[in-house]
Chains A and B, each alone.
Chain A
Amino acid sequence: MANTEIAFEIDDSKTVDENISALSTALKRIDDPLAEVLSGALSKLSLEMALDHDALLDALYVVTGPVEPQQASSDESPAR
């Protein structure tokens, strides 16, 4: 995690989806792996589509783990 602050502004000349895409890019500068996971949910959140918050938080947690492809487990979850 390199940065803790980013500069992001909504560009009125762009569509909502383009601005969300720009937000994703900006978030990658804070934490690339986490931004990768969150990016997939941003559009859904903006459309108020049903989103499993627990699953999203778990997915975010998983990518913070050490990069060990052979040990990576999709079952890994920090929740009780």
Chain B
Amino acid sequence: MSGWYLQKVSIEGFRGINNEGAPLVLKLKTDCVNSISAPNGVGKTSIFDAVVYAITGRIPKLDDLPAAEKGSSYYLNRFHAGGVGTITLTLVPVGGGAEVDVSVRRDAAGGRTVTASAGADGNAILADLNREFVLLDGKTFQDFIDFAPQKRGRSFAGLLGLKRYSSLRQGLASLTNTRAFNNHFGLAGKEAKKNSAAVSVQRARANIKEAFTALVGDEYDPAEAEATMLAKAHSALSGIELLKPLCDGRTFEEIDPSGCVDAAKAAEGGEARAELAKILRDEARWSEAVRAAPGERHGKRLVELADARDAALKLTQGDLFRQLYGLSETILADDSWADKCLCPTCDRSGPASILDHVRDKIAAFEAVETASANLVREWTEQGWNQLDELERLGRREDEQAQLAEAKGAGLKGALEGARTRALAEWLKTLTERAVANIKELTERKLALEKSLPEKLTAVVEKAEAARRLQSNLSDLRAALREQSAIVAELARIARVKSFLDTAGTCFASAESAASARRLAAIEPISRDIFAAIMYTDVVPALRKRAGSEDISISLAQFWTLPDISAQAVLSESYRNAFAISVYLAAASLYGGGAKFLILDDVTSSFDSGHQFHLMNVIKGQFARPGVPDGPQVILLSHDTVLEKLFNTNANDGGWWHQCIQGTARTSVLPQSGAIHKIRDATHAFLDTGNTDDAAPRIRQYLEFKLEEVISKVGIPVPIGIAFNDDKHMAKNLIDAIRAAVDLHDAAGRLVLDAAQLAGLNTSVATIVSNYLSHWATGQTHAFTAPSLKGVMQAIENFAGCFQFEHPAGSTQYRYYRSLSQRM
């Protein structure tokens, strides 16, 4: 069996434990249930915090304070001059072997240093100890009940021994998050690029068809092999006698169209032939540009999409508000924000859910994103971003290049309705100009052609058609290359996404199944524990939905009712018992490296009966030594009733109880039950004038002596005394003793002599007036060292009033057998 027991905890300069130069050393027994009692404010939770920090590296309740509270500055003890906190855990291997000291040091700047005994890896050991059930307090149990199912499931994964699996599941989910994935790969931009490439291919093919027909005279067949098409084109040029020398020995694409035009020009016509060639080129350029323009119906569609985006945008208030709503949703959706109708920014509450309101607002932003994506698709698919040539040809010098200027906004999907209307109008204008120009060029061409010999006119037209064919073939190949590259890139990205999705889904399913399996194993044990604590016909149930991370809690039986909501009907003590049962069951099955549990004040919601039951469960069903393979349990408590139970258990064996006393300002020290140590320490403090540390020890010493008198002399004590808090305990015990003495005195049966009776009154007066009256009201500043020394003497005198010398003259004193019997 592997793992570690906790043998000793040493703390100095951390949280409420100053102990400068003399660390608080808590010795624990690995083969016992360990209990540590302390009154409120003495440092019990500081011990818990120190172990939490040592193992986990943080104290959430400090880290989670508002920034203005500077929680990190409260890790260290404010009274410690060294400004350093040191925690040492002494661990013993479960399987036997040498003990290991792991020391964790925190400096004033928040730096953390871990060291360990020679040969040991301190950080690895602490990581091994870092399991969810090692350090448990009331908040942990409350959270277990109150958490939303998913958060409970994630939190509980550690208890099921599935923490790493849960983390891996979340890690894979984070990798496959579609929004983050798409952003990383810039998918929106790549889709736009793919659309543009498709438009370029489409345009080039249309232009090739036109040029081929003009050159060859046949219909262009897209299914025809390119080589055949090029051969036909070559033949159309080389078949012209004038151009044959310029074509021979060259492929079609190597033929120079300008050379062909020049040849025709040289053959006849001079300037007029050159002008015809230019007109043909211009006509072709304008025609190609106007063919690329989206039609009027696409213009209307663009305007509609932009208007839709404007409408969605109106429901939002800009990016800053989006951030605000996003943060608000995070806060409001968290379980710690209980009132969903309370605004996190203005602290005002209303009748409706702010969370729902914020989510509506976020939905409006998402509607804008969808509208923008639609706009980008239309913009790129219809080639609005590829109209440079048309705008260059059609725009006058004093006019803005509206389409070119709108490119960026178009690719982002950020065009407003008004602007798209202007763009559609502008495109209409450009198209009209292009059509008019083409008409004019055609008329000029026809006029020129009439003035030139027909044969050579056709030569020039074919040469220009060849130029267009060559140019568009080149454009087509470039566009196809671009299209192929982007499609391949998108396919690779899709392959990664598909792989990650499959990996994530497959592992989520496996993790969920393992979690359900382990949960099913826990349930019967947790029910047994719950029944042993609560003794009622209430049966807790744990449920896990297949494939999900959620863990739901309910009651399989609530007296006679089946399947009832646990959150809705359980009282605080039942909720606490539910959570404790589940945690203890999980810890018993899925323990990790830490074979110990520290429970800090986990019974505060229980009455004494249920506390008693829980202690019995821990002792008999869960912990060492009752369960030899069970964990070592360390209980921290301020509860005076529980302290009595601890003392009782300590007398039975298998249980190690100790008290701690002290203050955050000076030191906290264990009082391991030896009352003379408390007495001696109290005198030592009073000798140095330290009333702060002496006063709580006097309370402890006084209570011990009073209980000793009650026990030895057999004085009956009302049962209600056990339920009073520690501030009034001593006074109640004195009252009980006085009442018994008075009763026996009145009956003439009192064994105390007159001097003892008088001494009793004097001692009580001193104790009450000089100590208890101040202690009970918290007026401890009234204490002085001389008066407290008098109190200590009065305590001795008080106990002495119930004793007699035996044998006579021996100076040995023993208690009366009872208030009416000497021996």
Contact = CB atoms under 8 A, between A and B. Distances in A.
Contacts of B171: 41, 45-46, 48, 51
Contacts of A23: 503, 506-507, 510
A75 to B, nearest CB: 15
Given A1-B495, A4-B498, A61 B513 contact: no
A27 to B, nearest CB: 5
Contact of B174 (A19, A47, A53): A53
B165 interface: yes
A41 to B, nearest CB: 8
A16 B164 contact: yes
A48 to B, nearest CB: 5
A67 B112 CA distance: 47
B495 A79 contact: no
B507 A1 contact: no
Contact of A8 (B189, B492, B506): B506
Contacts of A46: 164-165, 167-168, 171
Given A4-B498, A10-B510, A53-B174, A45 B492 contact: no
B189 A34 contact: no
B563 interface: no
Contacts of A78: 185-186, 489, 492-493
A48 B507 CA distance: 16
Nearest to B489: A78
Interface in B455-504: 489, 492-493, 495-496, 498-500, 502-503
A23 B517 CA distance: 19
B157 to A, nearest CB: 11
Interface string A9-49: 11010001001100100110011001100100110011110
B113 to A, nearest CB: 20
A72 interface: no
Given A9-B513, A60-B496, A80-B186, A45 B168 contact: yes
A52 to B, nearest CB: 11
Contacts of B493: 61, 78
Interface string A40-77: 01100111100101101100110011000000000000
Given A5-B506, A42-B168, A48-B167, A80 B513 contact: no
B364 interface: no
B503 A30 contact: yes
Interface in B126-182: 164-165, 167-168, 171-172, 174-175, 180-181
Contacts of B499: 1, 27, 30-31, 34-35, 38, 60
B305 to A, nearest CB: 24
B600 interface: no
A19 to B, nearest CB: 8
A31 B165 contact: no
B154 to A, nearest CB: 12
Nearest to B496: A60
Contacts of B165: 10, 16, 19, 46
Contacts of A16: 164-165
Given A45-B167, A79-B185, A26 B506 contact: yes
Nearest to A5: B502
B511 interface: yes
A78 B499 CA distance: 17
B348 interface: no
Given A54-B184, A60-B499, A65 B167 contact: no
B514 interface: yes
Contacts of A27: 499, 503, 506
Contacts of A54: 184
Contact of B164 (A4, A12, A47): A47
Contact of B185 (A9, A20, A61): A61
A20 B506 CA distance: 12
Interface residues of A, number: 37
Contact of B492 (A5, A48, A65, A79): A65
A45 B172 contact: yes
A56 B185 contact: no
A8 to B, nearest CB: 5
A6 to B, nearest CB: 5
B102 to A, nearest CB: 19
B185 A57 contact: yes
A45 to B, nearest CB: 3
A34 B510 CA distance: 20
A79 B514 contact: no
Contacts of B180: 53
Given A46-B165, A46-B168, A78-B185, A10 B511 contact: yes
A18 B243 CA distance: 77
Given A16-B165, A65-B492, A6 B506 contact: yes
Give the interface centre of A23, A27, A41, A78 by most chain B CB atoms within 10 Å: A78
Contact of B495 (A47, A53, A57, A64): A64
A22 B165 CA distance: 13
Given A16-B164, A42-B168, A78-B489, A57 B502 contact: no
A53 B164 contact: no
Contact of B498 (A1, A48, A56, A61): A1
A43 to B, nearest CB: 8
B167 A47 contact: yes
A9 B172 contact: no
A47 B175 CA distance: 15
Given A12-B517, A64-B495, A79 B186 contact: yes
A65 B495 CA distance: 11
Contacts of A45: 167-168, 171-172
Contacts of A57: 175, 181, 184-185, 496
Contacts of B500: 38, 60
A35 B500 CA distance: 9
Nearest to B490: A78
B362 to A, nearest CB: 24
B687 to A, nearest CB: 54
A10 B184 CA distance: 31
A9 B500 CA distance: 17
B1 to A, nearest CB: 15
B175 A53 contact: yes
A54 B174 CA distance: 12
B496 A64 contact: yes
A12 B112 CA distance: 35
Interface string B754-770: 00000000000000000
Contacts of B164: 16, 46-47
Contacts of B514: 9-10, 12
A48 B498 CA distance: 23
B27 to A, nearest CB: 34
Interface of A: 1, 4-6, 8-10, 12, 16, 19-20, 23, 26-27, 30-31, 34-35, 38, 41-42, 45-48, 51, 53-54, 56-57, 60-61, 64-65, 78-80
Given A57-B175, A64-B492, 9 more contacts: A1-B499, A12-B517, A31-B495, A38-B503, A41-B171, A57-B181, A57-B184, A57-B185, A78-B493
9 contacts: A6-B506, A10-B513, A16-B165, A38-B503, A46-B164, A53-B174, A64-B496, A78-B489, A80-B189
**Shortest Cβ-Cβ A-B pairs, 9 listed:** A45-B171, A80-B186, A46-B164, A46-B168, A10-B514, A64-B492, A34-B499, A16-B164, A60-B496
Interface of B: 164-165, 167-168, 171-172, 174-175, 180-181, 184-186, 189, 489, 492-493, 495-496, 498-500, 502-503, 506-507, 510-511, 513-514, 517-518
